[in-house]
Amino acid sequence: MAQIELDKIQRIFQLGDSEVHALQDVSLRIEAGEYVSVMGPSGSGKSTLLNLLGLLDRPNDGTYRLEGRDVTTLGPDDQARVRRERIGFVFQSFHLVPRLTAEENIALPLLLAGIAPAERKTRVAQALSDFGLGTRGDHRPDQLSGGQRQRVAIARATIMQPAMLLADEPTGNLDRATGEDVTALLETLNGRGVTLIVVTHDPHMGERAHRRIRMEDGRIQSDTQR
């Protein structure tokens, strides 16, 4: 049993009268601990695929088994629990809550999971030092650089120790050097056993993954293992 098993996934968007087939017949198996990059032209369905994997969106057809369990038929509350406990998501535009400090942003998943304040404190402090944000805990997002923001977002995505980390163009809003740092950070996390799936435009970054999936027109065009 693979960690992720997609079987004939369809995702169709209704745009006025026309239908957009964002994903067509996508079947895919990903083992726990893999490092996968998803590349392809804009509009080829990369984000749609990642959103489905992260349970942020639902397919029109097909099944998605996560760790052996069919998650497409789960109710909203069970899906929320899976997102909370098994999945970490990193967005291109960071998606930090602007009024909250770095610490508070990182603590959000712990808060939603109802974890006690004392444990939250130690875990967030650990994460801050792990991600090189030691002195930035009480800064709000607008007081942080782009790289720091993305590190806060990654810290938040991993604070619940999820089984997989999904990143949609995590370096898209960063300069090259900062992007390298963030990529290295994600790879370190993968090295500790977390499944890492990265959508990227950057061929250089895509090359670094052990497994590279290429998408076109909502289909998987190639899937190469190194």
Partner 1 sequence: MMRSRDILAFATRAATATPLRTALMMLAMAIGVAAVVLLTALGDGARRYVVREFSALGSSLIIVLPGRTETGGLGAGSFVTNTPRDLTVDDAAALQRSGLITRVAPLVVGNSEIAYGGRLREVVVVGSSTAFAEIRNFTTAQGRFLPEEDWRRGSAVAVIGATLDKELFGTEPALGKMIRVGDRRYRVIGVLAASGSGLGMNADELVIVPVAAAQALFNASSLFRIFAEARNRDAVPAAKDQILDILKARHDGEEDVTLITQDAVLGTFDRILGALTLAVAGIAAISLAVAGILVMNVMLVAVTQRTSEIGLLKALGATGRAIRLMFLTEAALLSIAGALAGLLLGHLGAWGLRLAFPVLPAYPPDWAILAGLGTAIVTGVLFGVMPARHAATLDPVDALAKR
Ligand X SMILES: Nc1ncnc2c1ncn2[C@@H]1O[C@H](COP(=O)(O)OP(=O)(O)O)[C@@H](O)[C@H]1O
12 is an interface residue for partner 1 by CB under 8 A: no
109 is an interface residue for partner 1 by CB under 8 A: yes
18 is an interface residue for ligand X by CB under 6 A: no
The 3-state DSSP composition of the chain as helix, strand, coil percent (nearest 5) reads 35, 30, 35
Window 152-181: contact mask with partner 1 (x via CB under 8 A): ----x---x---------------------
Chosen residue from 7, 57, 67, 180 binding partner 1 by CB under 8 A: 57
Comparing CA positions, the residue from 180, 209, 205, 178 lying closest to residue 196 is 209
Could you give the C-alpha distances from 208 to 30, 180, 189, in angstroms and in order? Answer: 17, 11, 14
Find which of ligand X, partner 1, Mg ion, none residue 43 binds, CB within 5 to 8 Å per kind: ligand X
47 is an interface residue for Mg ion by CB under 5 A: yes
48 is an interface residue for ligand X by CB under 6 A: yes
| E strands in 85-218 | 87-90, 164-168, 195-199, 211-216
Residues engaged in binding ligand X (CB under 6 A): 13, 15, 20, 22, 40, 42-48
